[in-house]
Amino acid sequence: MNVDEPTDVVVVPVAAHAEDMGDKAPGKALSYATKYSILKILLLESGESDESRIPAAKMTADNLVKINQDIDAAKDLETLRTIVADGMAWAEESNDAKAHAQIKAWGTTKAATFGASAPDRQPVKAKSEKAPAEPPPPDVMVVKNGKTVESKPAPPGLLRILRAKIAAKGMSEQELLAKHEIPALEGISTTLGNHILHEINSA
């Protein structure tokens, strides 16, 4: 309808149907009719293909023979890869594991004539791809009784508390370091830091 001229109207009869086990069939049919009437009147592209909704035909023995012939006739590796990939995809859609394995075997045999070990495309690594970094070695400290303990490095906050406690107790940091046979508080483990803190509090 033309809003400026209400008598200017275009009527488009559209037949539509829908199937639904519940009560939604009429609404589906109406939606389908409305959609396609607008698409056809305005000549719009929907971006959809009705044919794509139709399931692919099941692979038959004749289809398999034709794929084998196409594989044998392939003149280069790229053509072979396309034929094998399409054939294997068709076999997967048909849920035919035997045909899938047969196509792959034919492709592998043919690929050998081109100097390739397999017909499928090998993934290409990005140039910027780097090997994963190895994890840093664990922080291993030796405590007073000689037992080795694996722990994370002590956080800066723990080191500040240790120094404050050492000063409050009137202790010598150098004597404490010598007692535990460590060069500096920086770099000690959380386990050893807590052990020293407990020792200072108990003093």
Among 44-58, 65-79, 97-111, 160-174, the minimum mean pLDDT is found in 44-58
Average pLDDT, integer, range 28-46:
79
Q: Say how many C-beta atoms besides its own lie within 10 A of residue 88's C-beta.
A: 20
Question: Global pTM?
Answer: 0.36
Average pLDDT, integer, range 175-193:
81
DSSP 52: G
On the question of pLDDT at 135 being above 70, the answer is no
Among 107-116, 138-147, 182-191, the minimum mean pLDDT is found in 138-147
Tell me the three state secondary structure of residue 83: helix
pLDDT of residue 173: 85
Among residues 191, 65, 77, 72, which one has the least CA distance to residue 139? 191
Contact by Cβ (8 Å): 106, 68: yes
Q: CA 118 to CA 107: how far, in whole Å?
A: 7
Tell me the three state secondary structure of residue 45: coil
DSSP 151: E
Residue appearing with tokens 């047969």: 102
Confidence band (pLDDT; 50, 70, 90) for 151?
low
DSSP 14: -
Does residue 132 or residue 17 have the better pLDDT? 17
pLDDT of residue 66: 92
pLDDT of residue 73: 92
